[in-house]
Amino acid sequence: MDSIEEKRVYGDREGAITAYVASRIGVVRVSVAGDTVGEFGLCERCNARDVAATRGAVAIATDGDVRVLALEEGVGIETSDDGTDAAATDETFVGTGFGPAVAVGYDDGDLIAADSDGRVARRAAGTDEWSTLEEEIVATVRAIDGDLVGTDSGVYRVHESGLDHAGLTDVRDVSAAGVPLAATADGLYKLGNGWMEILTGSFDTVAADPRSEPGRLSRAHAVANDVLYEYAADDEWAKSDRSSDAIVGFGYGDTVYAVTDHGTFLSASEGEWRTRMLGVNEVTGIAVPPRGEER
């Protein structure tokens, strides 16, 4: 593990942000500025099955518990007097008492988590207590984003008192920002007047910029059979010239970031990907705490 715990430093830190990459051996903290990858290292050893972030926190689903890292307001990359990353050594993920989890997500600051038995629970912002939304949904939860829960039996929507089945089947991933999206075994769908098919194919991954305005998409991406699609405009999606290379997750900052299951970190640069190997494999996702107002 020396290769990823070693400090990797770049000169110009202005505008730098932090991405968190979940993998079977732990969480890798990656500093990026635009399309340039700076230092990175393993900041938490665990079997991280999923990761999600808000402006104030990062949550991971592990085989032991849902664990949360509290972020200081406005923290991006904070440089100490000796030129090193002051924040990197102060990070601690803290257990929440949920138990083993397979998926996590944030909905307006509330933390949502699911376990392998189909239990879905909410931890309201500012509290330490979990409230089970429904005893069992009789489905395998695969993804959570905002108020959407993607399962092998379709999409569920979170409401105050529980969960409602919202249609579709064999859902692999969901995205709630802007326009709700679902990646399924037979196509990519958006929620309008019911679920409407956007593209046909076996989709595994979908994501949209969390700063998208309600009812609109600014940046969004999806992957089907290792083919990458990018949202263009006016409800149009196009195949990307960039290689998808088994992408399992996307993050958004000044540019677009992605990770592959083999541990390659990608940053979009002038129509291509800049790549950096992180030294981990069996990667499960990426989360970038958004700057500015979340929607």
Count of other CB atoms within 10 angstroms of residue 12: 10
For residue 166, give the nearest of 176, 155, 174 by alpha carbon.
155
pLDDT (0 to 100) of residue 44? 95
* Tens-place pLDDT, residues 172-194: 999 999 999 999 999 999 999 99
* Tens-place pLDDT, residues 2-13: 344 434 444 345
128-122-66-51 Cα dihedral, nearest 10 degrees: -130
Q: How far apart are CA 217 and CA 249, in angstroms?
A: 17
* Tens-place pLDDT, residues 20-74: 999 999 999 999 999 999 999 999 999 999 999 999 999 999 999 999 999 975 4
**Beta-bridge partner residues of 208:** 220
Is 2-287 in CATH node 3.40.50.2300? Answer: no
pLDDT (0 to 100) of residue 87? 41
* Three-state secondary structure readout of the chain: CHHHHCCCCCCCCCCCEEEEEEECCEEEEEEEECCEEEEEEEEEECCEEEEEECCCEEEEEECCCEEEEECCCCCCCCECCCCCECCHHHCCCEECCCCCCCEEEEECCEEEEECCCCCEEEECCCCCCEEEEECCCCCCEEEEECCEEEECCEEEEEECCEEEECCCCCEEEEECCCCCEEEECCEEEEEECEEEEEEECCEEEEEECCCCCCCCCCCEEEEECCEEEEECCCCCEEECCCCCCCEEEEEECCCEEEEECCCEEEEEECCEEEEEECCCCCEEEEECCCCCCCC
Using 50, 70 and 90 to split pLDDT, how confident is the model at 160? confident
Q: How far apart are CA 148 and CA 146, in angstroms?
A: 6
Using 50, 70 and 90 to split pLDDT, how confident is the model at 292? low
pLDDT (0 to 100) of residue 3? 44
Backbone torsions φ then ψ of 5, nearest 5 degrees: -85, -15
pLDDT (0 to 100) of residue 43? 95
* Tens-place pLDDT, residues 87-141: 444 568 999 999 999 999 999 899 999 999 999 999 999 899 999 997 667 789 9
pLDDT (0 to 100) of residue 235? 84
The model's pTM: 0.89
Amino acid at 12: D
Do 82 and 93 form a contact (C-beta atoms < 8 A)?
A: no
| Rounded average pLDDT over 259-263 | 96
Q: How far apart are CA 94 and CA 295, in angstroms?
A: 26
Map out the domains of the chain as residue ranges: 2-287
Query: What are the helix and strand counts (H, E) for the chain?
Result: 1, 28
Q: What mean pLDDT value characterizes the chain?
A: 88
Amino acid at 82: D
